[in-house]
Structure 1
């Protein structure tokens, strides 16, 4: 029998026969991390898709947020005719989509129609490539992503019609850890906890966060690929339940300039033979750990500038990196210190590294791939981390800072020999064009800020 919420092929067949499942969502993520795909009749899924997959237009890996085909990609363009790629269901991800009526969901890998190899630029493909390196060394990676979001009383349609202005948060004072404000929002939060649990995602806690209407719902750690899958399902569930209830949630990294940003802190540890390989007897400041721990941490910190757009992929991502805002601004590590970009937490079997840099807008496959690749390079090259920092890292102006704009981060990524050797030149070129397209869209847009500042006064 499969884990609660997940389905084997045999269990799916039974549920379809009993009329309990009628639709299968066959999906993958685009570069932004959005679920794309098709809804498939359940019987057709059993008869065809489960064996042969299905097809999708390869323009989906070259579009912008508005679904416009963007010129300049080598992978797919008008000259090549925008052909298909192959969606191959990963049946290990087959689960009940509990928030939808009589629906199951399966996440797919993207394969080339001609060669049948995985599309190298697919976000899930990029993470799986790093897992091949990890597994060759006899290691496992366990991870968790802590997602934060804002809950608003407006529906998505109302927010759109209002131009996303004058929206009403679900709270009216800073509610960090407040039970009373959490109770006011429990109708929504309890629903998503229940739906996630019934969809195969183990729930830990939910709580108010530091912004007006901001919340965090934490799920249990898992192996890194299933964790990335869970992250995607989590966001889809929360958005669709909000939509059904006439409210909305946003995973923007910085929803309001005067409010806390929303993060996706990544917790990660390596395991070998059923044991946490970070555990050791060596002293690193206040932490005891192994050489693997030390070198993984060293590589992870060192390569942040090389892979920053995989942690912070949008213009808005960089509005979050403000001193004194709970978001990291400096590249340093410390033990249980929330001013650090890298916060080491736990001890013994729970010892792990928390990277506080990614925002809630990250694509989890890319963020996990960047984290894992950086740490593994640290182990390979025995990269030493800096000294453990004790104190307020926001006040430590001498420490190197995170890139503060998407343009800066994209330039570093595009020119990074580490990124090219790790992910491949094709991937770096493709994603550099993607991030530049996002930057260009912003640079050519006239904003409300400009009108308010210049309309009369200039």
Structure 2
């Protein structure tokens, strides 16, 4: 039974009465519309569903303007088509009677919208396929949970919120009693929505938790990542809690999104591994890692897209600040772990705000740069790369990351002019909004004493 036959059956049985057609936006959020099942099956499933082009040219507040590759104002806020991908069809246990399908954005003539995050990733997957390779990935998302509803958090201006646990609960098996009803729903309902759960545990910051799902083909992993964030917020709200994935909520531990990634040959072989090599790594893997290091400064913008991203990427924050790699070394941005078929990299730069499609595209593009240019791999870092002043630094601010992005010939060659311009404008919009804001830090520092 294919996806839409399943939808017909679910509708006939009274299990599904509406379908969300969802588009991942620049922030990796799912945006879209609810369609009645008959209308979806008769029209949208085959012909697509119209949505305003500005959905791929907004900041987090849904503000748009000139400077993006899609200029909605100058084109009269017209539409593109959302073409559902039937492979993404699922039902949502936390949203009774609702199915969801993720869509690709195309222009009316059927050509892809080049800046759409799903298309940005697909281009890199197509490049990889030209080398006879496929990518498997998993993302490890962390979030903070609070003893407040989203309305209460908003009314408190997001200040003074009480975390859902009282202390550091890293690996803890107790102290989670109040949070457990929500966590149990996540562990139970996400698999029912199609995600394969592997592990779940408490993390370092009070109220922090991580749920890890089994690796999958890279596009599927990105789709599942977006669905997980969407569903977690809905389940939390139903349980009277607020959760945040922002990289740095306060001075405590930040929320990471570590990306685990391996490559396979067309026959499913583990092309990153070489049992005959002293370090177990193939020449391909060495080039792939070298590409990560070479491209990190220029590609950081796709992994750390916001002002807050760089509050996490600071010394002492248990997040990378330098550029290097190491065997099972969590102080490096690129950590090599596993052996044989499980040999993989763990990319530790992205935080909880990362758009999974763009972050995965950046990792793959960097690896392909290393493979195609046969870049040599420097020695691994054996110690604490965070404390080594000799290690080259990651961009320390969004402004610095934007400068690298725009000045890079590699970015323009890899992603094209439209993507380069579009995501530069997204960064500029974020920076402009931040620079207009008056922060608590400024009030505390200057209200009385200046």
Q: Which category describes the TM-score, using the shorter chain as reference length? A: over 0.9
CA distance, structure 2, for counterparts of residue 262 and residue 67 of structure 1: 24
Contact 2:144 2:208 in 1 (8 A): yes
Contact 1:109 1:125 in 2 (8 A): yes
| Structure 1 residue 283 displacement after superposition | 4.4
Contact 1:410 1:435 in 2 (8 A): yes
CA distance, structure 2, for counterparts of residue 74 and residue 183 of structure 1: 49
What secondary structure, in the 3-state scheme, does the structure 1 residue paired with 2:124 have?
A: helix
| Structure 1 residue 80 displacement after superposition | 1.6
Contact 2:314 2:396 in 1 (8 A): no
Contact 1:317 1:361 in 2 (8 A): yes
Quick check: 1:451 aligned with 2:443? yes
Contact 1:181 1:208 in 2 (8 A): no
Within the candidate set 67, 76, 83, 2:71 is matched to: 76
Quick check: 1:437 aligned with 2:432? no
Give the TM-score normalised by the residue count of structure 1: 0.96
Call closer, same or farther: CA 1:182–1:344 in 2, change over 3 Å: farther
Contact 1:155 1:247 in 2 (8 A): yes
Quick check: 1:268 aligned with 2:261? yes
Within the candidate set 50, 59, 67, 2:62 is matched to: 67
CA distance, structure 1, for counterparts of residue 64 and residue 298 of structure 2: 27
Query: Could you say which residue in structure 1 is the equivalent of 2:204?
Result: 210
Call closer, same or farther: CA 1:317–1:397 in 2, change over 3 Å: same
Quick check: 1:161 aligned with 2:155? yes
Within the candidate set 89, 97, 102, 1:102 is matched to: 97
1:361-380 superposed matches below 5 A: 361-380=353-372
Query: Could you say which residue in structure 1 is the equivalent of 2:314?
Result: 322
Residues 49-72 of structure 1, C-alpha deviation per residue, up to 9 Å, x if partnerless? Answer: 111110110011222221122223
| Structure 1 residue 74 displacement after superposition | 4.0
| Structure 1 residue 325 displacement after superposition | 2.3
Residues 96-121 of structure 1, C-alpha deviation per residue, up to 9 Å, x if partnerless? Answer: 112110111000000012x3101000
Give the TM-score normalised by the residue count of structure 2: 0.98
Contact 2:287 2:371 in 1 (8 A): yes
Q: Mind listing any 5+ residue stretches in structure 2 that lack a counterpart?
A: none
Query: Could you say which residue in structure 2 is the equivalent of 1:253?
Result: 247
1:148-187 superposed matches below 5 A: 148-187=142-181
Q: Following superposition, which runs of at least 4 residues in structure 1 exceed 4 angstroms of deviation?
A: none
CA distance, structure 2, for counterparts of residue 74 and residue 18 of structure 1: 45
CA distance, structure 1, for counterparts of residue 444 and residue 158 of structure 2: 16
Within the candidate set 82, 85, 89, 2:84 is matched to: 89
Within the candidate set 111, 114, 117, 1:120 is matched to: 114
| Structure 1 residue 79 displacement after superposition | 2.2
Q: Mind listing any 5+ residue stretches in structure 1 that lack a counterpart?
A: 2-6
| Structure 1 residue 259 displacement after superposition | 0.4
Query: Could you say which residue in structure 2 is the equivalent of 1:136?
Result: 130
Query: Could you say which residue in structure 2 is the equivalent of 1:220?
Result: 214
| Structure 1 residue 348 displacement after superposition | 0.9
CA distance, structure 1, for counterparts of residue 3 and residue 77 of structure 2: 34
| Structure 1 residue 156 displacement after superposition | 0.6
Residues 252-301 of structure 1, C-alpha deviation per residue, up to 9 Å, x if partnerless? Answer: 00011x200111001111101111110103646xx311011100000012
Contact 2:306 2:427 in 1 (8 A): yes
| Structure 1 residue 386 displacement after superposition | 1.8
What secondary structure, in the 3-state scheme, does the structure 1 residue paired with 2:175 have?
A: helix
Quick check: 1:331 aligned with 2:323? yes
Please tell me the root mean square deviation across aligned C-alpha atoms, in Å. Answer: 1.2
Contact 2:134 2:264 in 1 (8 A): yes
CA distance, structure 1, for counterparts of residue 418 and residue 10 of structure 2: 43
Residues 205-257 of structure 1, C-alpha deviation per residue, up to 9 Å, x if partnerless? Answer: 1111010111101100001000000000010010010011110110000011x
Residues 375-413 of structure 1, C-alpha deviation per residue, up to 9 Å, x if partnerless? Answer: 011111111222111111112110001101000001110
CA distance, structure 1, for counterparts of residue 120 and residue 219 of structure 2: 11
CA distance, structure 1, for counterparts of residue 166 and residue 269 of structure 2: 45
| Structure 1 residue 183 displacement after superposition | 4.0
| Equivalent residues, number | 449
What secondary structure, in the 3-state scheme, does the structure 2 residue paired with 1:270 have?
A: strand
Quick check: 1:58 aligned with 2:53? yes
Query: Could you say which residue in structure 2 is the equivalent of 1:49?
Result: 44
CA distance, structure 1, for counterparts of residue 408 and residue 276 of structure 2: 32
| Structure 1 residue 130 displacement after superposition | 0.7
CA distance, structure 1, for counterparts of residue 316 and residue 280 of structure 2: 29
Call closer, same or farther: CA 1:369–1:74 in 2, change over 3 Å: closer
Residues 397-434 of structure 1, C-alpha deviation per residue, up to 9 Å, x if partnerless? Answer: 10001101000001110111111111101110111011
1:293-372 superposed matches below 5 A: 293-372=285-364
| Structure 1 residue 436 displacement after superposition | 0.7
